Structure 1
Amino acid sequence: MIEISGLVKRHGAKVVVREVGFTAKAGQVTGLLGPNGAGKSSTLRILLGLDSADAGTALIGGKPYRSLRNPLRTVGSLLEGSGAHRSRTARSHLAWVAASNGIPRRRIAEVLDLVGLGDAGRKRAGAFSLGMNQRLGLAAALLGEPDVLVLDEPVNGLDPHGIRWLREFLRSYAGEGRTVLLSSHLMSELANTADHLVVINRGTVVHSGSVAEVSAGHASLEDAFFALTGEGR
């Protein structure tokens, strides 16, 4: 389970995350929905120990990310692409990631096949398309067979087939009792993927609940989103 409570983050005089709190439960896909600049990525970066909060807590299984031993065995994450150096092949990148957390090398071929890159293992990351880069990042996230997945805008660069595959994969992953938290500004995709939505705007949670609960009183999730965030005015 992911538990975020009273999270505050400032950049100088600007407050980018303001008293954010929500829970992402095991067995569910939780979607963090909001416009660009709403504070989604900042919240995830704090959760993953990449930034420090000015106040509040962000816990995974009751612990901060930085206290986890061999964290990739607990949490898999995808933020801003694969992180692979352009000169590295997909296999060499994953081998480095696996070695850093004591993950068996046999997992490299397994995750490459799982994400549809089985034939691209010897290809350099610099020659990858945006969609292939996203798939390589997901492969790295899955190396440790984690119980928690945290993904920021994971469908970026994927073609329709890839988007559909990822949607079905994430729902299946959560269906095995694991926790999936993903952020997106794409309402239609989260409506088809998430069990629970957290709507964030200007650094604050403005609504949360199932897709039906967030959409209640509106013609669609899109209409609810515009009403809650003031977008499109």
Structure 2
Amino acid sequence: MLSITGLAKRHGPHQVLHDVTFHALPGRVTAFLGPNGAGKSSTLRILLGLDRATAGTALVDGRPYRALRDPLRTVGSMLDGPGAHRSRTARNHLSWVARAAGVPQRRVDEVLAQVGLAGAGRTRVGRFSLGMGQRLGLATALLGEPRALVLDEPVNGLDPEGIRWIRGLLRGHADAGGTVLLSSHLMGEVAGVADDVVLLAGGRVVAAGLLTDVTAGHASLEDAFFALTTTTEATR
């Protein structure tokens, strides 16, 4: 389980997060949504140990990320695309990550095949299209066979076939008992895969719960998103 409780973050005089609290549960896909600047990236960075909170906690299976014994086996993440140096090949990048994390090298070929890059393992990352880079980022997230996935805009740059594929991947991970926390601006795709929704605006949670509850009274998730975030932003 991914647990965010009373999370606050301040950058100088600017309060980025205000008492953010929500949970992402096993067996479910949780969509983490909000406008640009709402605080989503700050929340995810704190959860993954890349930044520190001013107050509150962000825990993975009851522990801060930095305290996990095998982080790559516990939570796989993708925040900024592939995260690989442009001069490395896809295979070299994954092999290096596997060695650093104590993951068997057999997983390199397995995840390359899983994300549709089996024929591009020897290609340098600098030659990848945006969609191929996204697939490599997903391969890195899946390398340790983690119980939880934390993904920021994973469908960015993917073609329709790729979007359909990742929808099945995330649904399958959750249906097998895994936890998925997904941030995206593509409301239609999110609505097609999410069980739960957390909506952030102005650094505050403005709605959280079942997808059906958050969208109740609205024609779609997109309509609910604009209604709830526009009201919040207008009152800041």
Pair in the same fold by TM > 0.5: yes
What residue is the counterpart of 2:81 in the other structure?
81
C-alpha deviation, 1:35, in angstroms: 1.0
Structure 2: which 5+ runs fail to align?
none
Paired residues of 1:36 and 1:185 also in contact (CA < 8 A): no
Structure 1 residue 171, shift from structure 2 partner: 0.4
Q: Which runs of 4+ in 1 moved over 3 A?
A: none
Q: State whether structure 2 residue 206 is matched by structure 1 residue 206.
A: yes
- The equivalent residue for 2:2 is 2
Q: Hey, what does 2:66 align to over in structure 1?
A: 66
Aligned length: 233
How far did residue 16 of structure 1 move? 1.2
Mapped to 2, the partners of 1:93 and 1:32 lie a distance apart of 28
Amino acid at match of 1:208: A
Summarize the alignment of residues 29-68 of structure 1 with structure 2, pairs less than 5 Å apart.
29-68=29-68
2:96 and 2:179 mapped to 1: Cα distance? 25
Letter in 2 for 1:9: K
C-alpha deviation, 1:96, in angstroms: 0.5
Give the aligned partner of residue 135 of structure 1: 135
What are the residue-to-residue correspondences of 1:188-199 with 2, within 5 Å? Answer: 188-199=188-199
CA distance in 1 between counterparts of 2:41 and 2:175 reads 25
Match of 2:144 in 1: 144
Give the partner amino acid of 1:192: G
The residue type paired with residue 196 of structure 1 is D
Q: C-alpha deviations, 1:69-90, integer Å up to 9, x for none?
A: 1210111000111111010000
Q: Which whole-Å CA distance do the structure 1 matches of 2:135 and 2:221 have between them?
A: 28
Post-superposition offset of 1:189: 1.4
**Comparing 119-128 and 213-222, the one that deviates more:** 213-222
Which residue of structure 1 lines up, in the alignment, with residue 169 of structure 2?
Answer: 169
Name the residue aligned to 1:25.
Answer: 25
Residue 93 of structure 1 is matched in structure 2 by 93
Q: Once the two structures are superposed, what CA deviation does each residue of 1:191-223 show, in whole Å capped at 9, x if it has no partner?
A: 111100001111100001122111111222222
Partner residue, 1:123: 123
Supply the AA of the counterpart residue of 1:17.
Answer: L
CA distance in 1, matches of 2:73, 2:220: 38
Question: 2-side partners of 1:111 and 1:215: how far apart?
Answer: 35
1:14 equivalent to 2:14? Answer: yes
TM-score between both structures, scaled by the size of structure 1: 0.97
Displacement of 1:33 after TM fit?
0.9
Offset at residue 226 of structure 1 (A) = 1.2
- Unpaired segments ≥5 residues, structure 1: none
1:128: how far off? 0.3
**Helix, strand or coil: the match of 1:69?**
coil
CA deviation map 1:129-168 (0-9, x unaligned): 0110010010011110000100011111111111110011
CA contact (8 A) 1:90 1:122 kept: yes
* 1:184 shift after superposition: 1.3
TM-score of the two chains, using structure 2 as the length reference:
0.96
User: For residues 223 and 115 of structure 1, what CA distance do their matches in structure 2 show?
Assistant: 32
CA distance in 2, matches of 1:37, 1:158: 24
1:111 aligns with 2:111: yes
SS in 2 for 1:119: helix
Give the residue type in structure 2 aligned to 1:202: G
* Cα distance between partner residues in 1 of 2:65 and 2:201: 25
